[in-house]
Structure 1
Amino acid sequence: MRTTDLPNISSPKSLMRRFEIATLVVIMISAGALWAFVALAAEMIEGDLHAFDETVLLALRTPGDPSNPIGSTQVETMMRDITALGGVTLLSLITLAVITALILKRQRATAGFLAVAMLGGQVLSHVTKLGFSRPRPDLVPHGVEVATASFPSGHSMMATVTYLTLAVILTRSEKSIRLRAFYLGVAVILSLLVGTSRVYLGVHWPSDVLAGWSLGAFWALGIWLVARWLQHRGRIEPSK
């Protein structure tokens, strides 16, 4: 077959088809994440998650001594360090740094969109916490200080929102599939580690973390969809 007979994989129709498939996949995953959050919330309200939560929480404690997490003191210190990766202060500093970088690159519309998206995620986290008002676990001592309600886990949710959204911003200007996968993989791993640390430290029930991951993924993927729509309409800067 001659080279001229080969299909043009970069033709406008091919690119549009890939765009539509990617959008459909993200919509389906986002809908699944929202469904998972709603299902977890319903089960939590009915009290059906109590046995599951207690089993997992106690599995991370020394048998016969719920006050002592499994692992050495170094593991506990590591978990406290990891949980800080989902704290408001650190996530705000990271977001502010990225927004500043976007402004310096003269992508002011994208910077503004990112700021609104992150602020919206924080508002959603606080509203859902107030709405459910689930008490923190009292089965084991808390490894760090906490002041808000338990469901959903704000650290898990905002880590997912922030790291996934920032990964998407990085992949917009990256042509290498390997690097795109790397950025997204790091975002997912960081989110999983933050959520796991919250359960290990005894400040969240496992279902709180699952709900935080689900709601965070829904918000982050929704941000991705809105960003693509705005970019298509010329409201934010296109990827380079």
Structure 2
Amino acid sequence: MNTNTPNTQHSRNILYRLPLVQKLGLRLIVGLLVTIACSWLFYSIAEDVVEKDRLVAFDIATANALHAAATPTSTAVFEFISWLGLPGIWFVGMFLGVYFVSKNERLNLAALVFALIGGLILNSTLKLLFARDRPVFIDPLVIEQNFSFPSGHAMLSLIGYGFLTYFLLKGLRNQIARILLSVAMILLVILIGTSRVTLGVHYLSDVIAGFAAGTVWLMSCFIALNGIYRRRRRKSAPTSAATVS
């Protein structure tokens, strides 16, 4: 069943005929816009954290409320969800890596390693740069030793599961299945971030900033990867086909 109406198809044709879209590609433009938006979000949160703005008071109030509401059962559940973020994401990375090796997809393997290891290095650097202490409780549910901002679980789970989703979607043709997969992965990443706040090891702004930074890094990796693929296709295409836009 074709869901494209004449008006929708006409709008798409106009969009793809725009000079900037023809030159860069729609996906690249969308990726750049998302990267810019998330960079601005991260900067805004970081500024509030550094200046100890009203956001910090909201963070503390939220952390105290969630800590007071915690139960042994909820703590156990959120500890498992947190595990799906770290170290769970490294198992996802190994699974994807083995798949890429079996298919001799060296570029995808290199992109995966660069995305995950680069994301880890970036997160560690940001933690040292901002040096924000974690929430402090008399009776902590979980104890973490390093700095708090931004959340490594939030950032790396978004990068890792985002990378996994990207390649799974490439193999799916059913639109409903693609939507369900995307929604499931988004909910999983949100739950992982939520678990860190609920367990009292991060403030809410740590998690949101982690998502923002993770999105910026992931989109940057995708933009670079797609750029390499586009260059390869141009080199391998016949000269006559290369002149067709």
Which TM-score applies when normalising by structure 2? 0.81
Given that 2:67 and 2:199 are in contact with CA atoms closer than 8 Å, whether structure 1 keeps it comes out as no
In structure 2, what is the equivalent of residue 115 of structure 1?
Answer: 113
In terms of mean alpha carbon deviation, does 160-169 or 53-62 score higher? 53-62
After superposition, what is the alpha-carbon deviation per residue over 1:120-171, rounded to whole angstroms, capped at 9, x for unaligned?
Answer: 1111011101111111111464322312100001111101111111111112
Q: Is the 8 A contact 2:123 2:155 kept in 1?
A: yes
| Cα distance change on mapping 1:116 and 1:148 into 2, 3 Å | same
The question of 1:23 aligning with 2:28 is answered yes
Write the distance in 1 (CA, Å) between the matches of 2:206 and 2:81: 17
CA offsets per residue over residues 167-200 of structure 1, 9 Å max, x none? 1111223223323323322221111101111110
Change (3 A) 1:135 1:188: same
CA contact (8 A) 1:164 1:184 kept: no
Once structures 1 and 2 are overlaid, which stretch shifts more, 93-102 or 168-177?
A: 168-177
Gapped regions of structure 1 (runs ≥ 5): 1-5, 63-68, 236-240
Distance 1:53 1:141 in 2: 18
Percent of residue pairs identical? 28
Shift of 1:105: 1.4
* Alpha-carbon separation, structure 2, partners of 1:75 and 1:178: 32
The aligned counterpart of 1:106 is 104
In structure 2, distance between residues paired with 1:132 and 1:61 = 24
Displacement of 1:30 in angstroms is 1.5
Match of 1:32 among 28, 31, 37: 37
Matches within 5 A, 1:1-240: 20-48=25-53, 49-62=55-68, 69-70=69-70, 72-87=71-86, 89-139=87-137, 141-234=139-232
Asked if the contact 1:168–1:184 (Cα under 8 Å) also holds between the matched residues in 2, the reply is no
Indicate conservation of the 8 Å contact 2:111/2:221, yes or no.
Answer: no
Map of 2:236 onto structure 1: none
Structure 2 Cα separation of the partners of residues 101 and 114 of structure 1: 11
- When structure 1 is superposed on structure 2, of 205-214 and 137-146 the one drifting more is 137-146
For residues 13-40 of structure 1, give each alpha carbon's deviation from its aligned partner in whole angstroms, at most 9, with x where no partner exists: 78x86x8223212211111111101111
| TM-score normalised by L of structure 1 | 0.83
AA aligned to 2:78 is M
- Supply the AA of the counterpart residue of 1:157: M
Kept in 2: contact 1:165–1:223 (CA 8 A): no
Residues 140, 202 of structure 1: 8 Å contact kept: no
Evaluate the alpha carbon distance shift between residue 92 and residue 148 of structure 1 in structure 2; reply closer, same or farther with a 3 A threshold.
same
Distance 1:23 1:140, change over 3 A: farther
Contact 1:154 1:212 in 2 (8 A): yes
- Consecutive unaligned residues of structure 2, counting only runs of 5 or more, are 1-5, 234-245
Name which of structure 1's ranges 174-183 and 89-98 shifts more when overlaid on structure 2: 174-183
Across the aligned residues of Structure 1 and Structure 2, the Cα RMSD in angstroms comes to 2.4
The structural deviation recorded for 1:108 is: 1.9
Deviations 1:45-64 (A, max 9, x none): 000122110221123243xx
2:240 matched residue in structure 1: none
Structure 1 counterpart SS, 2:181: helix
